[in-house]
Structure 1
Amino acid sequence: MTSYISSLKVHGDIKPDNVLMTNQGRPQLGDFGSASSTLSTTLNFTQTHSFGFTVRFAAPEIMGGENPFTKESDVYALGMTIFNVMTGQLPFADKSEVLVIVEVLSARRKPLQPNFGHVLQKDEAKSKMWELLKRCFAYEPGDRPKATQVKNDLMEVGMINST
């Protein structure tokens, strides 16, 4: 996924529902925004509603309608996706989508630090992972890491390998 973001492409809807795993266990991005499924009533998919974006994974500048989707907004969404995958919880799970928008735009809120205990064992790895995610969640797009840095940091904490 970080390779995709590093390329010249902007995805614009990175979220767990759009991540597919290959037979080799590697994540690949897909986009199911225009697809329909008879399973949607039984699966817990995130929804874009009428906002035109998936609130819990959208960067502040997307929520505010200020900018089109960019690589930086993809990095924000990737951080939220990593948070979701590692914790099993949606970002801001205890809040309505409207409240998420208000809190992110007005109070510049980020998700609270989770316990990565079931995924990461060493305190140093947990600390590095949280520092990475906080950088991904930066309010200002220019303060977010590049996708290559996200990839390097994920390799450093042992979440992905170098192949």
Structure 2
Amino acid sequence: MDPAADIPGDLAIAGYRIHDQIGSGGMSAVYRGTQTSLDRTVAIKFLSHEFLGDSGIRERFERESVIIARLNHPGIVRVIDRGVTRDGRPYFVMEHVEGADLASLIDRGTLETSQKLDIVVQVCKALAYAHHNGVIHGDIKPANVILDRDGHARILDFGIARVARGDHPGAPASELVVGTPSYMSPEQVSGTRPMTARSDLYSLGVLIYELFTGRKPPTGRFTPPSQIDRRIPAALDRIVERCLQVEPAHRFSSADEVKDRILSVMPGAHLETVQRERTRQDLGAVDGKFTLL
């Protein structure tokens, strides 16, 4: 049966052929499509039908594409186009990336320490670029990092991102109780203080802890990663601990600083081709394709 036969008629877009649904999120659905002018595969994200009448969610959805479009970095999934269907559904078009999300790779447990360090460095570089351009992601977690077939890490899903400068708040605190609770900084969870770039660094700390140990750190005191797995460098404990400080001012000052500390744990981790080749082989063994949400 042709998958396109199940595509709702209100998803028709001039210049694109819609093929099949490849994923869905809390307020959106993603379809694989073809941009006919260039005959290339793309991922098209539509606002879910039930939220068309919600002005707040619609505004957030439309803001996501605008925020991503201002970022041009190899570690961030690019937006190609945006618009509204004839029936009033907003959408935006992204490059189609094949690979696996970091959450699935953590579940498989096949990544080596050097590969993990390389991935963290790549995420730090992309996050630093976003912060330098005034964008706070707000939902950094393994499921929002995809590794393409060549082992390059890409950040996606800027659905709750905020625009700010440096450590200036990206939005009033009352708007920030959105995200994934187990990865959210204390200020995001409480909603009592605005989110800043250092809020992303807390989430990054949770990601690093989970990437190396296979588990999320409990709130408050937690077992250092090197005590869970003796193969983990003890220096990583101090990096994670600082990222996970409750007080934002006590965390690292920037994603670049986290990157530099990671490189000091294993100098050259980001430069060795063998790590990328091993990651590429791991990705080749993952069933299915990653879905852009």
Contact in 2 for aligned 1:18/1:30 (Cα 8 Å)? yes
Counterpart contact for 2:235–2:265, Cα < 8 Å: yes
Identify which range, 126-135 or 61-70, moves more after superposition: 61-70
Matched, 1:151 2:259: yes
Partners of 1:162 and 1:68 in 2: CA distance: 36
Q: 1:2 aligns with which of 124, 127, 134?
A: 124
Distance (Å, rounded) in 2 between the aligned partners of 1:127 and 1:149: 18
Aligned pairs, how many? Answer: 126
Give the one of 94, 113, 125 matched to 2:224. 113
**After superposition, what is the alpha-carbon deviation per residue over 1:41-95, rounded to whole angstroms, capped at 9, x for unaligned?**
xxxxxxxxxx522121111111110233321000000010010111111232xxx
Q: Contact 1:5/1:71 (CA < 8 Å) preserved in 2?
A: no
Where is the strand percentage greater, Structure 1 or Structure 2? 2
- CA gap of 1:10–1:53, structure 2 versus 1, over 3 A, is same
Q: Secondary structure at the match of 1:78?
A: helix
Superposition deviation, residue 20 in structure 1: 0.5
Q: Is the 8 A contact 2:139 2:158 kept in 1?
A: no
Residue 213 of structure 2, aligned match among 64, 87, 102: 87
How far apart, in 1, do the equivalents of 2:222 and 2:180 lie?
Answer: 16
1:132 and 1:153 in contact (8 A); partners too: yes
Which residue identity does 1:78 align to in structure 2? L
2:140 to 5, 14, 21: 14
Matched, 1:142 2:249: yes
Q: Does 1:67 align with 2:193?
A: yes
TM-fit CA distance, 1:33: 6.0
1:32 CA displacement: 8.0
Partner of 2:236: 129
Question: Unpaired segments of 5 or more residues in structure 1?
Answer: 35-50, 93-103, 121-125
Runs of 4+ in 1 over 3 A off after TM superposition: none
- The TM-score with structure 1 as length reference comes to 0.68
Corresponding residue for 2:38?
none
1:38 corresponding residue in structure 2? none
Q: Which has the higher contact order (CA 8 A, sep 6+)?
A: 1
Q: 2:270 maps to which residue?
A: 161
1:57 aligns with 2:183: yes
- Structure number with greater Rg is 2
